[in-house]
Amino acid sequence: MKKLIIISILLLASACKTNPFTGKSTLNFMPNSKVFPMAFSQYSTFLESNKVITNTNEAEMVKKVGERIAKAAKLWLDTNGYKGYLDDYRWEYNLVDSPEVNAWCMPGGKIVVYTGILPITKTEAGLAVVMGHEVAHALADHGAQRMSASTLQQIGAVAGSLALQTSKYSAYTEQFMAAYGLGTNLGVMLPFSRSNETEADAIGIQIMAIAGYDPAEAPELWKRMSAKGSKSTPTLLSTHPSDESRIRNLTALVAKAKAEAAKFGVNKFQ
């Protein structure tokens, strides 16, 4: 127990890392030097076992949008005092043949877009909404934050279990583990995940605007996404905000994104 407490204190003491886009301290004790090599390796393995599409207009569009988003992110970071923030990134943009309506960006800038999402994105600007959002997850270290939170969750479970086993309440260890798992998932991990998604929406719409894509396309994309989706999971049980709240939030962020883009001389959008 003492060792676990000491480890937890040390982890928390080293957990503060500033999010450049919000200025807030975040829970993150996973350094890029550890996370990035793991992500790059997993990305290579994924590409080897999936059909990557090359030399098509759609594949070229994914690369073009990705490069513009990455350039805009670097421009914003360099201008706002975070020069060198992307030095360890190894950007890569691939279109993968899959009916899945999805896209993702691993820590360090490794991006995949599935062909299944293209009928919903429709245009280059629509694709920029999706890729801006996914890149925002990487820029804000959301993957490392989830790993950090999960580690603390596991330490808490072990500490609680050990404490009960050495007390007069040892018979309730199994019930504690079940309640702890449910309580931390519903009360901490899922809200944490939804918060990350909302933050990525706000960062992503800003980056796409700086890249020259119309931020007004963001809520429109989610309207199309919502129309294609099945009955949504209740927000309390979901890793993502509801489509309605995303559309509402993104609509409110359009003017701010355009104003941010204007600081970089971008006043016309694709």
Question: Would you place residue 164 in the very low, low, confident or very high pLDDT band (cuts 50, 70, 90)?
Answer: low
72 close to 87: Cβ distance less than 8 angstroms:
no
**CA-based angle 107:111:113, to the nearest 5?**
145
Which pLDDT does position 250 carry in this prediction? 97
- Written as six digits, the tokens of 111 are 């991006």
Question: Would you place residue 196 in the very low, low, confident or very high pLDDT band (cuts 50, 70, 90)?
Answer: confident
In the chain, where the domains are located: 30-262
The arithmetic mean of pLDDT across residues 179-204, rounded, is 66
Q: Give the predicted TM-score (pTM) of the model.
A: 0.78
The yes-or-no answer on residue 134 being catalytic is yes
Looking at 48, 58, 100, 134, which residue is catalytic? 134
Question: Does 193 have pLDDT greater than 70?
Answer: no
Question: Does 5 have pLDDT greater than 90?
Answer: no
The arithmetic mean of pLDDT across residues 112-118, rounded, is 96
In order of 21, 46, 73, 93, 129, the CA distances from 108 in angstroms are 17, 15, 13, 12, 19
